[in-house]
Amino acid sequence: MVVLVTGSSGQLGQSLQFIAPNYPQIDFVFCDSKTLDITSLENCETIFSNYKPDFCINAAAYTAVDKAENEPEKAFATNVTGAKNLAEVSKKFDTILLHISTDFVFDGNKKTPYLEQDLPNPTGVYGQTKLDGEKAIQQVLEKHFIIRTSWVYSQFGNNFMKTMLRLASEKDTISVVNDQIGSPTNAVDLAEIVIKLVTEHSKLSRSFGTEHFYGIYNFSNEGQCSWYDFAKKIFEINNISINLLPIPTSSFPTPAKRPSFSVLDKTKIKKVFGIEINNWDNSIEIHKDN
């Protein structure tokens, strides 16, 4: 089985490389943006022709939420054109596409966890381009999985956890917003779920039928917290003593509006794949030394 991974230098890409040795039955092909520029249909066709992957995990994305407000063309190129290109070549080579999306497709006005069928309503360029990328895939390719996730962090790449640890080494006091609620997701847990989907695809497609099997799934770690709670846990497990102050979003304005509530309901993915999901505060301890 050949599994092509785009965006191999990002958080999920590096997490997939981290767990890849546990799956010797899979021939992984890891491509960063230099090897595979998903905004180029020609480049996509060349790579797919060379490797003929059974699955493509699209971990490539433009994720600079605030910069996207001033760089909509760059966000669109990767998140929409890139997603469409991968869908088109996946259809041509009969490849199953696993695409990673985001909680930012929602406006955050709901008070209960978001379901896959809830109506998206992005409030910024990043969320809109991710939603448009989902739609582009759905229009082109039947054999797709879209996994919406939230608040991804890990020991790899750039993320909230690494930012907090860096700031703690530079400052005595840190202020973090406490009125945005979501679910932190460890990228290694996300990687494991993606690979489980790959390895169990044949069995599950026979059980559920493809028309009910492909589509959108939510995945994050269980539980919910504020960014302040998340930061507090990060410092706690790293034995860092710092003056951590909770502040409202209004005291920390950003170019792009963040969803005030973006907890995702995981009932569907747990039912279909028969999985148990780590709670966010347990997961951060489990993966502390990765």
Distance, CA of 64 to CA of 110 (rounded, Å):
24
Is residue 234 predicted with pLDDT exceeding 70? Answer: yes
Looking at the chain, the whole-number percentage of residues with pLDDT higher than 90 is: 90
Tell me which H or E stretch contains 146: strand 144-149
The tens digit of pLDDT for each residue in 50-72 reads 999 999 999 999 999 999 999 99
> Does residue 90 sit within a domain?
yes
Length, in residues, of the chain: 290
Instruction: Please give the pLDDT value at position 169.
Output: 93
CATH code for the domain in which residue 43 is found: 3.40.50.720
Residues 6 or more apart whose CB falls under 8 angstroms from that of 54 comprise 1, 2, 3, 95, 96
Work out the average pLDDT over 43-48.
98
Phi, psi of 253 (to 5 degrees): -65, 140
Residue 201: domain span: 2-159+183-223+262-278
DSSP bridge pairs for 146? 99, 216
> Does residue 171 sit within a domain?
no
Instruction: Please give the pLDDT value at position 233.
Output: 97
Instruction: Please give the pLDDT value at position 248.
Output: 95
- What total number of domains does the chain contain? 1
> Does residue 77 sit within a domain?
yes
Instruction: Please give the pLDDT value at position 201.
Output: 79
> Does residue 70 sit within a domain?
yes
> Does residue 207 sit within a domain?
yes
Distance, CA of 120 to CA of 128 (rounded, Å):
9
> Does residue 234 sit within a domain?
no
Instruction: Please give the pLDDT value at position 273.
Output: 87
Is residue 211 predicted with pLDDT exceeding 90? Answer: no
How many CA atoms does the CB half-sphere of 122 hold within 13 Å? 19
Residue whose C-alpha is closest to residue 222's, from 170, 253, 193, 265:
265
The tens digit of pLDDT for each residue in 150-202 reads 999 999 988 999 999 999 999 999 999 999 999 999 999 999 999 999 998 76
Instruction: Please give the pLDDT value at position 195.
Output: 95
Which pTM value belongs to this model? Answer: 0.95
Calculate the CA 205 to chain-centre distance: 23
- Strand-pair category, 55-58 with 215-218: unpaired
- Catalytic-residue membership of 23: no
The tens digit of pLDDT for each residue in 247-288 reads 999 998 899 999 999 999 999 999 988 899 999 999 998 877
> Does residue 239 sit within a domain?
no
Other Cβ atoms less than 10 A from the Cβ of 212: the count is 10
> Does residue 255 sit within a domain?
no
Instruction: Please give the pLDDT value at position 186.
Output: 97
Looking at the chain, the whole-number percentage of residues with pLDDT higher than 70 is: 96
Residues 6 or more apart whose CB falls under 8 angstroms from that of 6 comprise 13, 31, 36, 38, 56, 57, 58, 59, 60, 86
- Among candidate residues 114, 126, 214, 217, the one labeled active-site is 126
CA angle 227, 231, 226 (to 5 degrees): 25
